[in-house]
Amino acid sequence: MSKLIKVDGYKQLLDPTQTELGIKQIKDFFQANLSTALRLRRVTAPLFVLRGLGLNDDLNGVERPVSFPIADMGEQVAEVVHSLAKWKRVMLAEYGIQPGYGLYTDMNAIRGDEELDNTHSLYVDQWDWCRTIRPEDRNLTFLKKIVKDIYAAILRTEYLVFESYPQIKPFLPEEIHFVHSEELLQQYPDLTPKEREDAICKKYGAVFIMGIGGKLSNGEKHDGRAPDYDDWSTPNEDGFKGLNGDILIWYPVLERSIELSSMGIRVDKEALLRQLKLENKMERLNLFFHKKLMNDEIPLSVGGGIGQSRLCMVLLHKAHVGEIQASIWPEEMRKECAAAGMPLI
């Protein structure tokens, strides 16, 4: 498999039983820390939503959701969620959550168009979270504080793993570095976006890359982002556009960067209109979610998703996410992984 990264001399540091115990320990500890740090309450989440409401996450706008007709509802079509980026913002209003507080949930998704490799699976599990904010919180300083709080929870979890399994040595830096995607382009003009991520993460160890979704000075996007949840077009105090970003780390096991979280300050009415126009998606204003936003029926917010299996993979020093979660993989990949010392569940 051309997309599979094989690690010379790779050896699992934990046996299957230890791995399962480690996964539970990481998930229990991290979500408790995340909840405390950001003042989030846990809520129950859907696996699927009705098509046509505008609630499903469009990701990069090209991925096809898994769907099925509902026999007892006149064959209305349901879609398995890609993420809960917009659903959870509606729930902030439903629960009446005040500024400074929020919610999180265990999100499970199926992404049938995913390109399968060491870090990407058909099955996605993440902590989806969202927090109500005030108008004065819609700035880069506030966003950076939230990022630092999340990264601190990751560091505490890494140390917990080390205390439980001393053979797993911590490698994450104490601080996370902030850089805008336009700055990254200027630093590495001859590299692709992925190569830029590798370069900056190798240099700093942990990075938050801001401004994901809008076009850069070369006319290209660093990466795609749907126009109706993250605010990637509003100018910030650093002179760039974008109040969103991705948390990435340099992962020494695979010798490459890995994204752990996608997050940002969510669109207000002005940003929604601007971004829908930029992406030629103005027809979405007729959808349920977008009407509620334009009618001031859902609050301003900041939110994101943090990959559960991917975080466990990194903190347990695994070479493939299939060592953490049960999913479907090409038979050729299963054979190659087994021969390389990384048997897939």
pTM of the complete model? 0.94
How does residue 57 score in pLDDT terms, banded at 50, 70 and 90? confident
Residues 6+ apart with CB under 8 A from 260: 154, 247, 248, 249, 306, 307, 310, 311, 314
Residue at 11 is within a domain: no
Closest CA to 47 of 125, 151, 135, 137: 125
Residue at 293 is within a domain: yes
Residue at 5 is within a domain: no
Catalytic residue among 262, 275, 301, 325: 262
Q: How far apart are CA 56 and CA 44, in angstroms?
A: 16
Catalytic residue among 57, 158, 228, 230: 57
Catalytic residue among 106, 117, 149, 259: 259
Tokens linked to 209: 């890359």
Catalytic residue among 35, 83, 126, 261: 126
- The number of domains in the chain is 1
Q: Is 136 a catalytic residue?
A: no
Residue at 86 is within a domain: yes
Give the pLDDT score at 2: 58
Q: Is 98 a catalytic residue?
A: no
Q: What is the CATH number of the domain that holds 66?
A: 3.30.930.10
Q: How far apart are CA 310 and CA 119, in angstroms?
A: 7
Q: Is 126 a catalytic residue?
A: yes
pLDDT over 70 at 62, yes or no: no
φ, ψ (nearest 5 deg) of residue 284: -65, -15
How does residue 162 score in pLDDT terms, banded at 50, 70 and 90? very high
What residues make up the domain containing 137? 16-339
**Cα dihedral 306, 307, 310, 316 sign:** positive
Residue at 252 is within a domain: yes
Residue at 2 is within a domain: no
Q: Is 183 a catalytic residue?
A: no
Catalytic residue among 58, 198, 231, 246: 246
The mean-pLDDT minimum among 65-74, 89-98, 181-190, 269-278 falls in 65-74
Residues 6+ apart with CB under 8 A from 48: 68, 78, 79, 80, 81
pLDDT over 90 at 53, yes or no: no
Residues 6+ apart with CB under 8 A from 225: 60, 212, 213, 232, 244, 262
Burial of 168 (0-12, 13-18, 19+ CB in 10 A): middle
Residue at 3 is within a domain: no
Residue at 8 is within a domain: no
